[in-house]
Amino acid sequence: MEDFTRHSGRKFVALLASAAPVPGGGGAAALVGAIGTALGSMVGSLTAGKKKYAQVEEEIRALMKKCETLEEELLDQVAADAKGFAPLAAAYRLAKDVPGRALILEKATKGACEAPLRIMELCCEAIDAVAIFAEKGSALALSDAGCGAAILRAALEAASLNVYINTKALADRAAAEEINLRCGEMLSVYVPKADAIYAKVRDAVM
């Protein structure tokens, strides 16, 4: 599967705007999540090595390392989402009288949920990291932490839609509800957490 993250930003946006099936919403959510996470890392970069923040130096550097891993994983999910969608697109193209079509479609639909679910999990971890950057990082970069939180919230919610559109189509309603529950739990915890970070930063910079 093509690594769309190797393209320029302009080409990536052009591909999103085209009729090409991928990258789509899931890939966009992954890229946006990586950007939001990188803004947290930026706060860390502007904090580490400063005498004023010597007491949190070790924690900040560890968090930067974690965010670097999260950024890479989120970028990897751009291609993973496209790869997960390919079997689903192929299944929909099958003639309706093809033997086993329903089972093929069901399996592909479940597979298409995997990447956006992982994107959501990574965004949640990144929001936790950004919360610490906002609390302990350089005051000069506080707005960047707030931006990161806002962007990660958008990525989290965008990824969830790419799960829900697939679970709606599943014949296995028990599996669908289980997946939906995972999504709902992440949204119920991390949307308010991202909002709280944003509100705190907004109040501090205004």
CA distance 50 to 140: 12
User: Do you find a cis peptide bond into 87, omega within 30 degrees of 0?
Assistant: no
Chain centroid to CA 35: 9
Percent of the chain with pLDDT over 70: 100
User: Given this model, what pLDDT does residue 48 score?
Assistant: 96
Say how many C-beta atoms besides its own lie within 10 A of residue 10's C-beta. 8
Range with lowest mean pLDDT among 3-12, 108-117, 179-188: 3-12
User: Given this model, what pLDDT does residue 141 score?
Assistant: 96
Q: What is the CATH number of domain 23-205?
A: 1.20.120.680
CA distance 129 to 64: 9
- Rounded to the nearest 5 percent, the helix, strand and coil shares of the chain are 85, 0, 15
Residue ranges of domains in the chain: 23-205
- Interval 89-140: pLDDT, tens: 999 999 989 999 999 999 999 999 999 999 999 999 999 999 999 999 999 9
Q: What is the mean pLDDT of residues 167-180?
A: 97
CA distance 38 to 26: 18
